[in-house]
Amino acid sequence: METSEIRRRFLQYFEDRGHTVVPSAPLPSPDPNLLFNVAGMAQFVPYFVGQQTPPYPRATSVQKCVRTLDIDEVGKTTRHGTFFQMNGNFSFGDYFKEKAIEYAWELVTKPQNEGGYGFDESVLYASVYYEDDEAIDLWKRVAGLPDDRIVRLGMKDNFWSMGIPGPCGPCSEILIDRGPEFGADRDWEAGDRYLEFWNLVFMQNIRGEGGGKEGYPILGELPKKNIDTGLGLERVAYLLQGVDNMYEIDEIYPVIEKASELTGRKYGSEHDDDVRFRVVADHVRSALMLIGDGVTPGNEQGGYVLRRLLRRAIRSMRLLGYEDPSLVELLPVSLEQMKKSYPELVTDFGRISQVAYAEEEAFRRTLTAGTTIFDVAVRDTKASGAHQLEGAKAFQLHDTYGFPIDLTVEMAAEQGLNVDTEGFKSLMKEQRERAKADARAKKAGHADTSGYRELREKGVTEFTGYQELATDSQVRGLLRDGAVAPFAEQGETVEVVLEKTPFYAESGGQIADEGLIVGDGLKLNVLDVQRPVKGLIVHRVEILEGVLRPGTDVHAEVDHDWRISACQAHSGTHVVHAALRQVLGPNALQSGSYNKPGYLRLDFAWSSALDPATRSEIEEVANLAVRKDLPVSAQYMTLPEARDWGALALFGETYDEQVRVVEIGGPWSRELCGGTHVKHSSQVGALTVTGESSVGAGVRRIEAFVGMEALHYLGKERALVRLLSENLKTRPEELPAKVADLAERLRAAEKELERVRAAQVLQAAAELANSPKDVFGVQYVGHRAPDGVNGGDLRKLALDVRGRMGNDKPVVVAMLSVNDGKPGVVVALNDTAREWRLKAGDLVRIAAEKLGGRGGGKDDVAQGGGTDPAGADDALSAVEHAIGHQVTG
């Protein structure tokens, strides 16, 4: 039975039994503690914990999931995978244990020709929480299982919770006995013979504080008991398809077959190759699904995971002997299998493939440059007798060549080396501390949402900002540090919830409104507006006057100029997006945006930089749309209706069943959007594109100003052109040629200066070679060159002096200069000095330590540097002392 058919039967079975079929939530998780959804119940958590009222009493879904903790284990075992699908049926206070067991047993054992999975009842077992006698009785009565096929397990194995105080309950699993070839009889721990493939969670209790999977107190029962089940789709697939593991099911194995065809290696013949084949198949499928949900390769969070998956797949193909680009061969194979369950992948494959292929191209360049550096580092490490690659070298590979630390560790292990990961982490920490703090850190909010939930229980905040900028309202409540407070006074900054508000809460790329909330003796400056809990709008305010209390009547008013400019920017974003698609084609889809009054930026799928002519064309198309005074309208409809209508959705966003579609000029621009907009496109005003750049493989960013900000920007450019024209005494239209001529003349002058300076430095070589210092028989030249001599010229000088001194006696030449405030040092030895067992690399490291840095190189010539110019004289003296110590020692 194909995986897509297993999926279809599951959803059909539960839909026929009154369950609402809910589409999978996107892979990126809205939970700040998670990168991706890892369980089928993820999107239903607000219903289980009481944050929201479920819109249906029972539901079913097939949730896309990505597990990131086991990436290193993928391929090494046959049980670890990255992307997987979790079939689930859920009840929110409707049915409970008996129905859950009845549904599961019927679907699992029902003959295939009657719509079930047709498992042989004689090899099925049930595990239960050891104290759950009710579940045991139900398995006997509903499924007819005898005592010897019901297994009692402890809290660690068969009791579920979210790991924090809240809902919890006993579990019951359906297991299948795969036979003695997979393990010993009644061995429940191994997990290979008695394979669990469906877990039924009976959410009936409330737990208290405590860590781990057991040992926390059970405080009582939930007022409404819920059902949360999860059937592993891939596990059922390999059980029904008669293969041994998930890598050999129909959705994954064709990629292995294609990889085998490309590499000429046979799957199943050699363990290391099999691991690589499985890595390729799993990671290609995972990348397909992640990019499909809007994730793009990057150096942070989910983007880093995707980049790592793609690079592991690419490198595994190279280790299998395939040097050409591989994703262009493999990704379409994965698409062919996954489109049966996810047809949207077909329509979006242009964008998906563009992102993936661009990342492979970038990584191939990285491999070429970085592998050379890595090989040198491995050779030097082994030559020194060490067994650990320096953390600094791993950091260089990461920071300069884009090598993920995981790849460096992996490659080092293949060479029999460890990596100083602690040293690497320390350098990464230093880099992060130097980097600019995340501008959005203030949006992180409070981990504890109980205060918000308490206010949300009093009702939904009505948003009036689409129709008006000022609203009479009442304070529903206020929070201080995330906790509900009875009052707040002048000078405090707190959070306020109103009955209704015209203030737009930050979302969809649009920042929050600014303005004032006033009342009798009360004045609040609105600093920020967020939606920490669905249905609740929270204002962060500074109390300028008075005392704030719940129940106070207030007048809330958005800053008029702020909102007008914000509307111009948001509508301008839609206009630029439509212009991009008109000029570049339908694959130039938005993958993220940000807009504030007068400014917008839009990230879109595209693999190459836009030339000036293309940028100008996009700007012209956008401004023509503005000039046409196109009508801007918004209407509500169901999500399927919006998709049928051609409305574009932002990748990775989760939408309600009812969505708002904003239309500009009819079908020219239709997007799902909750933001505020102008009434006609002409109100966007002037629109000028100010920049276009890369923000990751296959993703570009375009920036623009609109309205008065655009006019101000153009005014500044006009003033700059006028100033340059006056200074260069030329007409504006002749400026490009004039500046190009000046730049060329400047380059020629710099080259001549470089030549003269190098000649002056090298002129000193003869004098230095004729006046060495004798250090216990070694002819030593230690010289501080004039400041400003670069490393290349310093090296030339050292080699020239060494060459003039011949090989009759041992010669050590140490040259040092300070360039741009940073000291550099070069040490060169002749053959005779090396016969005396002197090494340039050892000597340069001694010098570099005095300079507050490090160095290294070969035995005959080595180079280093530091950050402390004050140590220059000490560095040359240290080399001299080291020579004497080594010669006399």
What value does the mean pLDDT take over residues 767-783?
A: 92
Check: CB of residue 567 under 8 Å from CB of residue 596.
no
Indicate the residue type of 749: A
Asked whether residue 438 carries a pLDDT value surpassing 70, the answer given is: no
DSSP annotation string for 300-319: SHHHHHHHHHHHHHHHHHHH
Token reading at 866: 């530091």
Measured CA to CA, the distance from residue 763 to residue 248 in angstroms comes to 72
In sequence order, what are the residues at sequence separation of 6 or more whose Cβ sits closer than 8 angstroms to the Cβ of residue 521? 545, 546, 547
pLDDT band at 888 (very low <50, low <70, confident <90, very high): confident
Residues at the annotated binding site? 570, 574, 673, 677
Indicate the residue type of 42: A
583-607 burial string, b = 16+ CB within 10 Å, else e? bbeebbbbbbbbbbbbbbbbbbbbb
Token reading at 234: 């891939």
Token reading at 383: 């030559």
Q: How many CB atoms lie within 10 A of CB 194?
A: 23
Check: CB of residue 7 under 8 Å from CB of residue 87.
yes
Strand-pair partners of 66: 83
What value does the mean pLDDT take over residues 373-391?
A: 85
What value does the mean pLDDT take over residues 224-228?
A: 92
Check: CB of residue 22 under 8 Å from CB of residue 60.
yes
Asked whether residue 152 carries a pLDDT value surpassing 90, the answer given is: yes
pLDDT band at 854 (very low <50, low <70, confident <90, very high): confident
Percent of the chain with pLDDT over 70: 95
Measured CA to CA, the distance from residue 569 to residue 580 in angstroms comes to 16
Strand-pair partners of 703: 601, 691
Asked whether residue 289 carries a pLDDT value surpassing 60, the answer given is: yes
- How open is the CA angle 640-641-644, to the nearest 5 degrees? 85
Asked whether residue 787 carries a pLDDT value surpassing 90, the answer given is: no
DSSP annotation string for 70-98: TGGGBTTBSS--SEEEEEEEEEESS--HH
User: What local confidence, expressed as pLDDT, does residue 440 receive?
Assistant: 33
Count helices and strands (H / E) in the chain.
Answer: 25, 33
Which residue reads 């375009």 in tokens? 702
Structural element, H or E, at residue 65: strand 58-66
Helix (H, G, I), strand (E, B) or coil at 855: strand
Token reading at 759: 């000649």
- Mean pLDDT lowest for which of 25-39, 121-135, 301-315, 539-553? 25-39
What value does the mean pLDDT take over residues 204-230?
A: 85
Listed residue (620, 768, 613, 779) closest to 687, CA to CA: 620
pTM: 0.64
Indicate the residue type of 830: N
What value does the mean pLDDT take over residues 263-273?
A: 91
User: What local confidence, expressed as pLDDT, does residue 442 receive?
Assistant: 34
DSSP annotation string for 117-143: ----GGGEEEEEETT-HHHHHHHHHHH
Each residue's pLDDT tens digit, 450-493:
788 889 888 899 999 999 999 999 999 999 988 899 999 999 99
Listed in order, strand segments (DSSP E) in 347-416 are 388-389
User: What local confidence, expressed as pLDDT, does residue 448 receive?
Assistant: 60
User: What local confidence, expressed as pLDDT, does residue 75 receive?
Assistant: 78
pLDDT band at 447 (very low <50, low <70, confident <90, very high): very low
Check: CB of residue 602 under 8 Å from CB of residue 671.
no
Q: Classify residue 151 as left (phi > 0), alpha (psi -120 to 50) or beta.
A: beta
Q: How far apart are the first and last CA of the chain?
A: 78
pLDDT band at 435 (very low <50, low <70, confident <90, very high): very low
Listed residue (670, 695, 529, 685) closest to 602, CA to CA: 695
User: What local confidence, expressed as pLDDT, does residue 651 receive?
Assistant: 61
In sequence order, what are the residues at sequence separation of 6 or more whose Cβ sits closer than 8 angstroms to the Cβ of residue 436? none
Check: CB of residue 603 under 8 Å from CB of residue 698.
no
Residues at the annotated binding site for Zn(2+)? 570, 574, 673, 677
Handedness of CA 675, 680, 685, 686 (dihedral sign): positive
User: What local confidence, expressed as pLDDT, does residue 434 receive?
Assistant: 53
pLDDT band at 590 (very low <50, low <70, confident <90, very high): confident
User: What local confidence, expressed as pLDDT, does residue 407 receive?
Assistant: 75
- Mean pLDDT lowest for which of 162-166, 178-182, 308-312? 162-166
What value does the mean pLDDT take over residues 72-91?
A: 85
User: What local confidence, expressed as pLDDT, does residue 658 receive?
Assistant: 83
User: What local confidence, expressed as pLDDT, does residue 436 receive?
Assistant: 35
